[in-house]
Structure 1
Amino acid sequence: MYDLVIVGAGPYGLSVAAHAAATGLKLRTFGRTMECWHAMPSRMFLKSEPWASHLSDPAGRYGLDAYAAERGVRAEHGVPLPVGFFAAYGDWFARQAVPGLDERLVTTVAPADGGGFAVTAEDGETVRSRTVALAVGVLPFMEVPGPLRGLPRRYVTHSSHHGELDGFAGRDVTVIGAGQAALETAAILSEQGAAVRILARADRLNWNTAPPALDRGRWQNLRAPHTGLGCGWRNRLYADTPGVFRRLPAATRERIFDSALGPAGAWWLRERFAAVGDVRLGQRVTCATVTADDRLRLDVRGVDGTVSVVETDHVVAATGFVPSLDRADVLAPELRSGLRRVGAGGAPEVGALFESSWPGLFLAGLLTAPSYGPSMRFVFGAGHTAGRLVKGVRQRLRGGTGGGGVLGRPRSGSGSERRVATPAS
């Protein structure tokens, strides 16, 4: 019987594991290290500043700056780092701070008879644990526009499906979205020789400005302080006080989650993106069908109601992620249905110290963003999460509440009668 099983080995899972290992918990961490990051195209770069991209260990010994120094690389403010470098940093962090990482994937987390959880790996082995931390990253929560769902992957993919994009050279590709993933994917496709267009519901493209110098004088720092999520006092709230965010009224949290830090391209991408000449804004796909000549026909409606037709070889949906419990297939149905939810998207309610309403089940990363705020959508949020989550685990193991109820049994009223309506998926 383990004290804690961590499901996921991305930035959040590894950070939680580092803090748990330091406390001496009997621990097991499952997952392929930094899998999502290793799968990204090599021409992509981190949008976050290097100093806002540390994984978290209790002593702060294994930050991105320490890895860069070991590699002889300067991780500088205002200089984007390749995503491959960040993925390699995560591998190094795991070797330094996470003992006994098990790179098998987990297929099911289920309540166990007598309390705790049964965690089943991809080869069928099941282990028992008194607590579980779910840190599965963003891939289970990919969002694809309704008219494109169900179409074969030869015609439609999500931007997260792709490593290198050189297989699209000479083809017509439509990228849907207006955020960094969409704009950077489109730029790379163009560089690889594809004919690319952007379709986006937004009526304009937003671009972040180059970050001001870290040392810029007291008055400038006071007016717009640097934070791990960008400059400004509002970002300071999101970055530094997720615990305060959690105490806001539910309707306010939902509104901020839906609107804060919206789609925008990085300042350093703008020049590369200029090669994408076909940008269609204020447009949304209403219907998608395969044509007789094996292409995809998109019916597109503008904000003024006009309808146009686009024929393309392939669509890449760079349309983000929705933290809905209905997409957390790793959780057994009885566990998912027993969790309280917040907001129209059906995200799980997360209490103090990152414990869900099912005692002993802790959550990290995107699933916690509707409760703890926008920082949980970024690597930066791992620093706030890891130590507090492990504190909650230790309280739970000592028989404290940890933010939940009796170990292995949900509190009354946590079943489906408390769930909110969720959009069809």
Structure 2
Amino acid sequence: MGRLSTSVDVAVIGAGPYGLSLAAHLRARGVEHRIFGEPMGPWKHNMPRGMLLKSYPWATSLSDPGSEFTVKSFCTERAMPYHDVLTPLTLDRFIEYGEAFRMRYVPAVESKVLTALETADGGLRASFDDGETINARRIVVAVGLQPFEHLPQDAAHLPAELCSHSGKYGSLEALDGKEVVVVGSGSSATDLAALLHERGISVALVARARQLRFANRPHNRSSIERAMAPLSGIGPGWTLGAYAKYPQLIRLLSKERRIKIANHEALGPLGGAFVRDRVVGKVPTLLATSLQSTETRNGKAVLNLVDAGHAKQSLQADHVIFATGYKIDVSRLGFVNQALLRNIRLEEGAPQLSSHYETSVPGLHFIGPAAANSFGPVCRFVYGTYHPARTLAQHLSSILVRSRPAVQVRPFDRTVLP
């Protein structure tokens, strides 16, 4: 059978919060598009059940055209408990919300995998695992963080059965009965350490940090606290508030300044507010301790460590989880053709983007975490879906011929459902 070849104005690659939000706005504007990927896939398969989202519930809504279907409205119509800040949002509840958003605003997601992306005939061509090839006038890559898992060099010496990245979980069942070491000090590390401990798995935490940092437990804030450090969608304070509200202005700064802002120290390794008491005093922890090398011995992983006083020790485990974050590197996207890759202007591995999230390759756009070096740290948060969904959808609707009238998205149903 020959390969099916079709065309479309806009192809959206990725069906997480950013892809779904953009598709919702494109649909409302009548822009011809298709969206590909498993809806909320990484949230379903690469984050452990029982995890609590670190962001405030009020700042964890996807972007719909009428700004109506928030996490709060989702919980209200289903008579689920909710509070803007005092009650954490569970992973399961967020996934349920994302699925409800998809059914309401993006009903035609296609769960197939992009295998090749290249330029062709003055446009872009995308090939998929089912054999279909699509010629698109615009392609928007919204793949999230998952392709960019960062492992230390020393992890390369360990076989896959002895080590993994924190982004691989998912179910923790495979670790039952094992001795596990988690390396890292951020939310992924502390979340996993807490969940493993509560599952009855022997776990220890190793971190270079001198102390574990956790977000402050939310409380009803005084007027003085609100004035001195107002809450924003990415954290408290006037500076983070500006980063959250004005990503388009960040893009106008110098490269050095933008990259520094994208990695703002206030957003460094930080555990969730409700995790501190589940880790501190419960999970054995080695702080101010660096990994020097790794080896295998008798079928186990051995971590050779050194502390701040230069004392050395070795730690043995059945499995090591490296909660060592993510590093955007477009070259790691296996579907990007090498000739296309050479034409994408990069800044420390991330694409340099225009005000419309367009790369140096005409018609190719990136949104989500890959845009942080251009638009700042809000791109790493669900809260940041608002900006590209509106900006890019408006831009694309103004330059592409509409194939049909704007779809009328049904109004928000405020009836409380069972």
TM-score, structure 2 as length reference: 0.90
- Residue among 89, 92, 98 paired with 1:81: 89
- Residue among 303, 313, 325 paired with 1:308: 313
Secondary structure in 2 matching 1:108: strand
Moved over 6 A (4+): none
- Residue among 111, 118, 134 paired with 1:103: 111
Distance 2:14 2:277 in 1: 36
Which residue is equivalent to 1:10?
A: 16
Distance 2:159 2:69 in 1: 42
Change (3 A) 1:396 1:290: farther
Distance 1:12 1:258 in 2: 20
Does structure 2 retain, via aligned residues, the 8 Å contact 1:196–1:276?
no
Secondary structure in 2 matching 1:352: coil
Instruction: Please tell me whether residue 65 in structure 1 is matched to residue 72 in structure 2.
Output: yes
One-letter amino acid of the counterpart of residue 262, structure 1: G
Which residue is equivalent to 2:150?
A: 143
Post-superposition offset of 1:329: 1.9
Change (3 A) 1:395 1:152: farther
The RMSD of aligned alpha carbons is 1.6
Distance 2:309 2:175 in 1: 32
Which residue is equivalent to 1:406?
A: none
Residues 17-416 of structure 1 aligned to structure 2 (within 5 Å): 17-39=23-45, 40-76=47-83, 77-112=85-120, 114-149=121-156, 151-213=158-220, 216-217=222-223, 219-260=224-265, 261-274=267-280, 276-291=282-297, 293-342=298-347, 345-397=348-400
Distance 1:132 1:26 in 2: 12
String of CA shifts for 1:288-342, please: whole Å, max 9, x gaps.
1211x20011112334443321111110111111111122222221112211111
Post-superposition offset of 1:149: 2.3
Distance 2:157 2:57 in 1: 38
Secondary structure in 1 matching 2:49: coil
Distance 1:222 1:80 in 2: 24
Does structure 2 retain, via aligned residues, the 8 Å contact 1:360–1:393?
no
String of CA shifts for 1:105-150, please: whole Å, max 9, x gaps.
21222112x2221111112211111000000011100011110026
Distance 2:311 2:129 in 1: 49
Distance 2:127 2:82 in 1: 39
How many pairs align? Answer: 392
Gaps of 5+ in 1: 399-425
One-letter amino acid of the counterpart of residue 119, structure 2: P
Does structure 2 retain, via aligned residues, the 8 Å contact 1:227–1:239?
yes
Distance 2:158 2:22 in 1: 37
The share of aligned pairs that are identical, in percent, is 33
Which range moved further: 271-280 or 185-194?
271-280
TM-score, structure 1 as length reference: 0.88
One-letter amino acid of the counterpart of residue 27, structure 1: H
Q: With CA pairs under 8 Å and 6+ residues apart, which has the higher RCO, 1 or 2?
A: 2
String of CA shifts for 1:77-118, please: whole Å, max 9, x gaps.
220111011011111111111142111121222112x22211
Gaps of 5+ in 2: 1-6, 402-418
Post-superposition offset of 1:363: 0.7
Post-superposition offset of 1:221: 2.4
